[in-house]
Amino acid sequence: MPNRRILSLWFPRLGAERLIRMERGTFDAPLAVLRDTGQMQVISSLNVQAEDAGLELGQPLRDAQAVCPGLITRLQNIQGEAAFLTAIRRWAGKFSPWVAQEAPNALMLDLTGCAHLFGGEEGVLDAVAQDCTDLGLTVRGGIADTLGAAWALARFAAQPGAAHRSGDDIDQEAPATRTRAVKRRHWTRGGTPPQKQAGPARVGRIAPPGQTHGALADLPVAGLRLERDTQAELARLGLRRIGDLSGQPRAGLARRFGKGLVLRLDQALGSVPEPVSPATPRPLFAVRMTLPEPIGLQSDLLAAIERLLPPLCDRLKERGQGARVVRLQVFRADQTMQWVDVGLARASDDPERIRPLLRMKLDEIDAGFGIDMLRIEAIRAETLHNRRAAGHLEAGRAVADRLAAGHVLDDLIGRIGARIGLEQITRRHPASSHIPEKGAQSLYAAWSEPWQAAWPDVSVARPVLLWRPEPVQAPDTPRLTTPFRWRGRDMEWVTARGPERIAPEWWLEEADWRSGVRDYWRVTCATGERLWLYYAHGSTMSAGWFCHGAFD
């Protein structure tokens, strides 16, 4: 069996280059994609010109504009970038059938048994470089025996041994004077921005089979996919390269930095397996409409939805599927996107059952500067089983009426669920238990069928209302005396029927049943109230009287 070979593809400028492709290359200036953190906007992606101007990822917008006044900015579209990465994953399927996405900007490919189709691993990297150049994408790659090693080679092979400046090292502390700091940041006062190092000449680096340890030895510890705090702690101890860690005792590393560091190190070196988990292929049920001019009125959105739903439902019918959750995506003119989801109580391929639910969600959509594209996708679909009415005419009508009534109830559940959520709508089914509060169970109405049979008869009447047991002030005797006090009122009973003894489920530990065996009484008070009282004989909790419900 050939050695396992993993290819890691990293797209460091994915967000910016996606926008450049959408604008057909019209961005001939520094471009930054911004992520809104709630308190400020920071850079999440840059193009080549912006990096050459001295900008960095994670830099606040105000600092970036001070460095580069001609900077062009766009807001990040996380969903759009994820969809773009999915499209790239489909392209990467030409190199291997085993491709996994690694959000937000990377792919993992299992090349085992595939590289010879492209003339070897060098040929694979050359083909990747050529295709990405044609697509206008920047890519870095790494091939190794393990997933962790390939990940590290793709990102850090161009900068081996990069030091982590923490400020705690004496070599770093001595020159950290105010004069040197001012010289380092002269570009903030109008000087020439510092020039970043040019990228690697090659697209990627290959670690020969069986030489993973040597290929990783000179790479920084950040190549182990560690948290920033762990990297800083390692740098303070002088452990800046992976080779510095590989010779250390595992027990000491685990005690000082936790098991996560040891796990990542063993995964990179191949001591612990780490599989490539490819995305599960699924049928895509989606339609979209590109508009010549941006729109913003609800009537225009509804007209577009009415044109999109029939072809979507036709695709569902061809596959015998019905939509259970439908997503409406609106793409604005400023390259941002918003979506709303609606759920159906029963899977359907009928546009008339989906349209009203989407109409109810239109108030949540902010058109912004205008909407220039709409997309509707059935993100969750289920198999539909066609049902036909058979038999005499009367029987057929009865079946049709029953099915129509069921659709009406499902539509009602779907419309209410669009407002408050399908999880808030429940229905009651009988349950098999002698415990009063477990005599019925609540099921989600959207994922259950109505109870068709008659409700099971009980030998002893049960109250209409049940609540958690409430203490009753009465003498501690199994026989109820009058008067007694409940909810701050003095009450007298006129008639009492009982007792009905109910024992707890001994195989379960329930807080409400720690008072032991109960003797239930149906008590009619002088005020007309009919209460359900019980005397608890005591167990881990003391004995006493409690009120559990009311009959009307």
What is residue 14's predicted lDDT score, i.e. its pLDDT? 93
SS3 486: strand
* Cβ neighbours, 10 Å, residue 550: 14
Query: Residue 268's closest CA among 161, 154, 146, 160?
Result: 146
Encoded amino acid at 236, one letter: R
Q: Give Cα 288 to chain centroid, integer Å.
A: 24
- Does residue 189 carry a pLDDT above 80? no
What is residue 457's predicted lDDT score, i.e. its pLDDT? 78
* Residue-wise pLDDT tens digits, 125-158: 999 999 999 998 999 999 999 999 999 999 998 7
SS3 87: helix
- Residue 181 · residue 175 · CB < 8 Å: no
- Does residue 177 carry a pLDDT above 50? no
Q: What are phi and psi of 456, to 5 degrees?
A: -55, 140
Provide the pLDDT confidence category of residue 169 given band limits of 50, 70 and 90.
Answer: very low
What is residue 312's predicted lDDT score, i.e. its pLDDT? 95
Alpha helices in 157-283 (DSSP H): 170-173, 178-184, 212-216, 228-236, 242-246, 250-257, 259-269
Cis bond before residue 483 (omega within 30° of 0): yes
- Residue 417 · residue 343 · CB < 8 Å: yes
- Six token digits for residue 308: 């999109």
- Does residue 192 carry a pLDDT above 60? no
More confident residue, 431 or 171: 431
- Does residue 178 carry a pLDDT above 60? no
Query: Residue 150's closest CA among 302, 324, 330, 6?
Result: 6
What is residue 309's predicted lDDT score, i.e. its pLDDT? 95
- Does residue 487 carry a pLDDT above 70? yes
Rounded CA gap, 245 and 262, in Å?
9
- Does residue 201 carry a pLDDT above 70? no
- Does residue 184 carry a pLDDT above 60? no
Cβ-proximal residues to 104 (8 Å cutoff; 6+ apart), any chain: 14, 78, 81, 82, 85
What is residue 5's predicted lDDT score, i.e. its pLDDT? 93
* Residue-wise pLDDT tens digits, 438-476: 888 888 888 788 888 888 877 788 888 889 899 999 988
* Cβ neighbours, 10 Å, residue 141: 25
- Residue 286 · residue 312 · CB < 8 Å: yes
Provide the pLDDT confidence category of residue 163 given band limits of 50, 70 and 90.
Answer: very low
What is residue 180's predicted lDDT score, i.e. its pLDDT? 41
* Residue-wise pLDDT tens digits, 249-273: 888 888 888 888 999 999 999 889 8
Provide the pLDDT confidence category of residue 1 given band limits of 50, 70 and 90.
Answer: very low
Q: What share of the chain has pLDDT > 70, as a percent?
A: 88
Q: What are phi and psi of 429, to 5 degrees?
A: -125, 145
- Residue 333 · residue 296 · CB < 8 Å: no
Provide the pLDDT confidence category of residue 331 given band limits of 50, 70 and 90.
Answer: very high
Cα angle for residues 374, 378, 384 (degrees, 5° grid): 145
More confident residue, 432 or 405: 432
